[in-house]
Amino acid sequence: MLRSVVRGCGSYLPERIVTNAELAQRVDTSDEWIVQRTGIHQRHVAAEGETTSMIGLKAARAALADAGMDASEIDLIVVATATPDHTFPATATQIQAELGITEGAAFDLQAVCSGFVFGLATADKFLRSGAARAALVIGAETFSRILDWEDRATCVLFGDGAGAVVLKAEEGGGTLADRGVLTTHIRSDGRFKNKLYVDGGAGSTKTVGFLRMEGKEVFRHAVVKLAETVQHTFSETGLSGRDIDWFVPHQANRRIIDATADKLGISHDRVVVTVDRHGNTSAASIPLALAEAHRDGRIQPGQLVLIEAMGGGFTWGSALIRW
Ligand code: ACO
């Protein structure tokens, strides 16, 4: 059977770093409050004119270089983003054009913070069915553009950035020993729309809007739903938290990450954490963390990597990958 094997991974963070101390000059908050509640110390913010497609392109180029592959080999681009350059065309087609690709398909996918897991699950289906040969799955966000910088409850949480993986369809034996994406689980439940949303849009207000969130409610749902989606992976594969080499969760909040790892029986030294330096970069957070741990040699070929995320909608999901 065909498997979607990770051939490369790359990321990009905008140059400008905004510390908690800088935010404390703008809104009534403190470094102590932010660190204690979220684990976030700083975040990157895109420069004026630096768009989601620009940072996504940099991550994509880094992933292709890591894979040692040429852009012409890619016949599917999925960009997970809630902050596209324009309402249309898709950010993915902009990146496709910049890469000089004129074959295959490129489209955006909207599942907010779960976007990368949804994108990986989607690309995996294309590759395993033989509909595509090699895919770029990109998570790229400029959440700084949809933040209400006067709302201390949300503006301290998010950051900008992009990450990408190159997946290639390769023959596998159909067992858990195969390299590649082994299982994916994605879920949505639109009843929770009002817990986390943007209060504008092309089809309603004709504006972009600002992010709004009931933080406590999101927190409560996150720990339950994230553990539930991973339990599906465990029951399907017969694996447990002890079998996971690296847990790379969506980076929203250090307390959510720790509580989820504890629930799943995954020791904290097996968890990749970037939220302290990146904040919550939505769909970009997992590929940013994957790229960091891949680059610094923590994640090694053949190891089992578990990813999970939850985001607005609600949407949530997980994937198990043998690197
Ligand atoms: N600085 C100082 N005080 C603040 C700040 C701030 N930046 N923000 C809120 N407060 C105040 C509130 O006004 C409130 O004050 P009050 O008691 O006088 O009314 C007090 O702090 C407590 O506020 P809560 O919202 O109850 O604080 P909580 O402990 O729940 O922490 C937080 C808030 C960090 C947002 C938390 O709920 C959380 O992390 N939720 C998850 C949200 C999240 O991660 N969303 C990301 C998108 S979804 C995802 O990616 C999974």
Task: List, for residues 4-53, the tens digit of each pLDDT value.
Answer: 999 999 999 999 999 999 999 999 999 999 999 999 999 999 999 999 99
Q: Is the same domain home to 125 and 213?
A: no
Which ligand 1 atom sits closest to the C-alpha of 216? Answer: 37
Dist CA 104 CA 91 (whole Å): 15
Pocket of ligand 1 (CB under 6 A): 29, 33-34, 37-38, 113, 152-153, 156-157, 196, 213, 215-216, 218-219, 222, 250, 252-253, 280, 310-311
Q: Note the pLDDT of residue 201.
A: 97
Per residue in 271-320, pLDDT tens? 999 999 999 999 999 999 999 999 999 999 999 999 999 999 999 999 99
- Tell me the pLDDT tens digit for each residue of 197-224: 999 999 999 999 999 999 999 999 999 9
Answer yes or no: do 212 and 118 share one domain. no
Mean pLDDT of 241-249: 98
What does the buried/exposed string (b/e) look like for 130-165 if buried means 16 or more CB atoms within 10 Å of the residue's CB? Answer: eebbbbbbbbbbbbbebbeeeebebbbbbbbbbbbb
Is 161 in the same domain as 59? yes
For 148-185, write each residue's pLDDT tens digit. Answer: 999 999 999 999 999 999 999 999 999 999 999 999 99
Residues 8 and 137 in one domain: yes
Count the domains in the chain. Answer: 2
Who contacts 274 (Cβ-Cβ below 8 Å, separation ≥6)?
A: 251, 285, 288, 289, 292
189/166 same-domain check? no
DSSP secondary structure code for residue 43 in this structure:
E
Are 138 and 270 in a shared domain? no
pLDDT for 299 equals 98
Q: Please give the sequence-ordered ranges of beta strands (E in DSSP) within the chain, or none if there are none.
A: 2-12, 16-19, 42-45, 76-80, 105-109, 134-142, 160-171, 180-188, 196-198, 211-213, 246-249, 304-311, 315-322
Region of residue 128 (left: phi > 0; alpha: psi -120 to 50; beta: else):
alpha
| Residue among 18, 37, 308 whose CB has most ligand 1 atoms within 8 A, to mutate | 37
What is the predicted pLDDT for the residue at 246?
98
- Residue 305 CA to ligand 1 centre (angstroms): 30
Annotation marks residue 250 as catalytic: yes
**Among this protein's residues, is 9 annotated catalytic?**
no
pLDDT band per the 50, 70, 90 thresholds, residue 58? very high
Name the domain boundary from 171, 191, 221. 171
What is the Å distance from ligand 1's center to 34 Cα?
A: 9
The pair of structure tokens assigned to 33 is: 């409050």
Q: What residue owns the CA closest to ligand 1's atom 21? A: 153
Rounded to an integer, the average pLDDT of 260-270 is 96
Cis peptide before 107 (omega within 30 of 0): no
Same domain, 120 and 239: no
Contact yes or no for 282/115 (Cβ under 8 A): yes
Predicted pLDDT at 276 = 98
211 and 131 share a domain?
A: no
Q: Is 280 a catalytic residue?
A: yes
- Of 121, 146, 171, the residue at which a domain comes to its end is 171
Q: Which of 36, 148, 216, 229 to mutate to test the pocket of ligand 1 (most atoms within 8 A of CB)?
A: 216
Q: What are 90-129's pLDDT values in tens digits? A: 999 999 999 999 999 999 999 999 999 999 999 999 999 9
pLDDT at residue 6, rounded to an integer: 98
Catalytic residue among 44, 221, 250, 278: 250
Distances (CA, A) of 62 to 211, 212, 226: 30, 33, 29
Give residue 311's pLDDT.
Answer: 97
> Which CATH number does the domain housing residue 274 bear?
3.40.47.10
- Tokens representing 321 are 């990958």
Same domain, yes or no, for 261 and 209? yes
Choose one of 171, 194, 219: the last residue of a domain: 171
Which amino acid belongs to residue 313?
A: G
| Rounded Cα–Cα distance for residues 316 and 120 (Å) | 13
Same-domain pairing of 7 and 55:
yes
List the domain range (segments joined by +) for residue 74: 2-171
In the reported structure, the alpha carbon of residue 153 is separated from the centroid of ligand 1 by a whole-number distance in angstroms of 5
What are the φ and ψ backbone dihedral angles of 238, each rounded to 5 degrees? Answer: 75, 10
